[in-house]
Amino acid sequence: MKLVLNHDTYEAVLKGIVPSARRFLWIFTADIKDLFVEGPGKRYIPFLEVLAEKLKEGVEIRLVHAKEPGPRFRADFDRYPEFLQSDAFERILCPRMHMKAVIADGRIAYVGSANLTGAGMGAKSDHRRNFEAGFVTEDRETVRGLMNYMDQFFVGDFCEKCQRRDVCPEPIR
């Protein structure tokens, strides 16, 4: 298990875990914004472009977030038809989602405080990003336990008894 703080989150998650995914990538976050990451040739690209490329490579992606993203994220999202055309992309919006976790291929996971935003992931300058803490683990039992919990959520095990269904735009069940 490795502790990741502040900008280390960017290195561990966006430059480590996400690019390493070969079969599947699960992303759970409360907030999601138009995050930009370092791309080829030191130019910055939308994180959504990275995810669209993963879909083209055959990586299955689950994205769960708590609130509707802003207009800039939605505009970027619409630029990548892979999200609408691929059966390998699944997205759930759940107002109660507060977990921040990323899992690649069932072998490595990040769990921490960082949302999928520039300030959360450490993609902004030292003086503009959030203070974040998390862990990266490759411990099989820990990753398996996290995946089981996420699967329960994803198939809607918690949905029917949820007392916030009145504010849920897309109940799973």
**CATH code, domain carrying 153:** 3.30.870.10
Is the pLDDT at 107 greater than 90? The verdict is yes
How do residues 22-71 score in pLDDT, each as one tens digit?
999 999 999 998 899 998 888 999 999 999 999 999 999 999 999 889 88
Domain for residue 173, yes or no? no
d(CA 159, CA 157) in angstroms, rounded, equals 6
The yes-or-no verdict on residue 109 having pLDDT over 90 is yes
Q: Which residue has the higher pLDDT, 26 or 162?
A: 26
- Comparing CA positions, the residue from 104, 119, 112, 32 lying closest to residue 62 is 104
Res 10 pLDDT > 80: yes
Which residue's entry shows tokens 């990003």?
Answer: 129
Residue 172 within any structural domain of the chain: no
Please report whether residue 67 resides in a domain: yes
- In angstroms, the CA 48 to CA 138 distance is 25
**Is residue 42 assigned to a domain?**
yes
In whole angstroms, give the CA distance from residue 15 to residue 109.
13
Gyration radius from the chain CA atoms: 15
Tell me what pLDDT residue 146 has. 97
Element (H, E) at 77: helix 71-78
Reduced to 3 states (helix: H, G, I; strand: E, B; else coil), residue 33 is coil
Amino acid at 142: T
Q: 173 with 161: CB under 8 angstroms?
A: no
Specify the pLDDT at position 17. 98
3-state secondary structure of 142: helix
Q: Which residues lie closer than 8 Å to 18 by C-beta, 6 or more apart?
A: 25, 50, 54, 102, 104
Asked whether residue 173 carries a pLDDT value surpassing 90, the answer given is no
Whether residue 130 is contained in a domain is answered as yes
pLDDT at 147 over 80: yes
With a cut of 80, say whether residue 127 has pLDDT above it.
no
What is the C-alpha to C-alpha distance for residues 65 and 27, in angstroms, rounded to an integer? 8
DSSP character at residue 42: G
Q: What is the pLDDT, as a whole number, of residue 41?
A: 86
Domain count for the chain:
1
Band the pLDDT of 171: cuts 50, 70, 90.
Answer: confident
| Residue 163 structural domain | 2-167
Q: Looking at the domain assignment, is residue 88 inside a domain?
A: yes
Q: What percent of the chain has pLDDT over 90?
A: 71
